[in-house]
Structure 1
Amino acid sequence: MPKKLISLIALLVTVQFLSSGTTRQARAQAPAAPYPVAAPLDQYLIPERTSEIELARSAAPASISDGAEVLVLSQQGYTTAVKGSNGFVCLVERSWAKSTDDPEFWNPKVQAPHCLNAPAAKTYLPIVLLKTKLVLAGKSKMEIAQTLKAALDKKELPTLEPNAMCYMMSKQRYLSDDDTHWHPHMMWYVPGDATQSWGANLAGVPTIAGNVPEDRMTIFLLRVGHWSDGTLAPQDTH
């Protein structure tokens, strides 16, 4: 703060007092974090097993998802509901697949169907399964972040394999409160901070990239023009 401004505030004692009161009132009226703690587990579960299977499979075209293994979430964690034959694994990720510093980490509305190819199922999925195990054990976000860091440091989690990717082309999904459905897309998982390697996020480049330091990976995202059922997707740029 400039010295002149500090001197002025020091002289205007009354104004300073009123300003402090206004600041306290503003803080009192500031909205609280939308999802400060975990909701009861049943709010994250999908009651009908068949509904969760269908939602998971909707992540990819039927030519892929019909032959994929399908996982569903229960109070014991993710379990195999349908055995697969093509190496893909479909599941509905919940909010805790996000980084622990994400404000919607505990959002029970999040249901994000993914269909992972074999490299992603082998090397990305273990991160999701570990977080799920910790959530079901009642761990806090801090404890989850610490345990994940330790597991990565000790190489207890596999290194991401080349070509690890997934389909996210479901119409029936809830990604976040701001981007409920967004666009159908495909994602690639790459070790470390590799955001510059594809020229992503630049004008005229169709690829979006985001570094996820907590998971020690970069996610590359490419929009596609249709949903998994073949219908056309919105063409706006949001």
Structure 2
Amino acid sequence: MAPLDQYLISNEQAEIALARSAAPASISQAAEIMVLGPKGYTTAVKGSNGFVCVVERGWGAATDNAEFWNPKVRAPMCFNPAAVRSFLPIYLMKTTWILAGESRADIPKSINAAFNSKELSPLEPGAMCYMMSKQQYLNDEGMHWHPHLMFFVSDDPAKSWGADLPGSPVISANDPEERVTIMFVLLGDWSDGTRAPSSMHY
């Protein structure tokens, strides 16, 4: 892990604006906004539509991901109510453990224990989030990648979604640590309505 200050955004208003850029303004302007501090995420703006927008850091990825500790990662995400209740808590819990000094190796064990003890709830049907920020920095290779939606699904539904097939805009990624398969649906526009470059690679 890099020094903590490399993961923090010193200007709270800048982090709020970045979090809101995850989704179109018609959604994000009424969403709750959470920002990262030295002990975890706290609510900076209360919402009214049940959505929650955050700027995820590298440790949102699986613990074996090469970008896990990358302090440059800034991934604005806006979760719908079903994801707020059943998927976002995993990331918030991971963040709290990490900032308290828990090792990367122990995080999967802690997540598994939290599921088994019912501290973490089963994934709700319809859980999804928006990732449409033109300012997103997802990793050192893909950087801004594509604007996209993410659907959080139990089990392994890739075949029923037609994911990963030639020409399909749907990409799947299984994450056994968090007991979820993430279905990525690629979009053509950023949240501000501007067109994303069609030449961007998957």
TM range (shorter): over 0.9
Report the CA distance between 1:160 and its aligned residue: 1.0
Greater relative contact order (Cα 8 A, min sep 6): structure 1 or 2?
Answer: 2
3-state SS of 2:43 partner: strand
Residue 41 of structure 1 corresponds to: 4
Give, in angstroms, the shift of residue 237 of structure 1. Answer: 5.1
The number of residues matched between the two structures is 201
Identity of aligned residues (%): 59
Structure 1 unaligned blocks of 5 or more: 1-37
Choose from 177, 184, 191 the match for 2:154: 191
Which is worse superposed, 150-159 or 215-224?
150-159
1:55 aligns with 2:18: yes
2 CA distance for matches of 1:120 and 1:104? Answer: 23
The alignment status of 1:99 with 2:85, answered yes or no, reads no
Q: Normalising by structure 1, what TM-score?
A: 0.82
- Correspondence for 2:75: 112
Name the counterpart of 1:168.
131
C-alpha distance in 2, partners of 1:181/1:204? Answer: 21
- Structure 2 equivalent of residue 121 of structure 1: 84
The Cα of 1:154 is off from its aligned counterpart by 2.6
Structure 2 CA distance for aligned equivalents of residues 56 and 237 of structure 1: 23
**1:207 aligned residue:** 170
Q: Deviations over 1:20-61 (max 9, x none)?
A: xxxxxxxxxxxxxxxxxx111111000100000000000000
**1 CA distance for matches of 2:152 and 2:107?**
21
Amino acid in structure 1 at the alignment position of 2:181: T
Q: 1:180 aligns with which of 131, 143, 146?
A: 143
Partners of 1:193 and 1:213 within 8 A in 2: no
Per the alignment, residue 25 of structure 1 pairs with none
**Structure 1 residues 50 and 42, CA, compared in 2 at 3 Å: closer, same or farther?**
same
Paired residue secondary structure (1:197): helix
Partner amino acid, structure 2, of 1:153: N
Large movers: runs of 4+ above 3 Å: none
Q: Which moved more, 1:44-53 or 1:154-163?
A: 154-163
Larger Rg: 1
What is the CA–CA distance in structure 2 between the aligned matches of 1:124 and 1:184, rounded to whole Å? 20
The correspondence for 1:135, drawn from 82, 98, 103, is 98
CA distance, structure 2, for counterparts of residue 154 and residue 200 of structure 1: 33
Question: CA offset at residue 204 of structure 1?
Answer: 2.7
Deviation at 1:196, TM superposition (A): 2.2
TM norm structure 2 = 0.97
Listed as ranges, the matches of 1:1-40 within 5 Å are 38-40=1-3
User: Structure 2: where are the runs of 5+ without partners?
Assistant: none
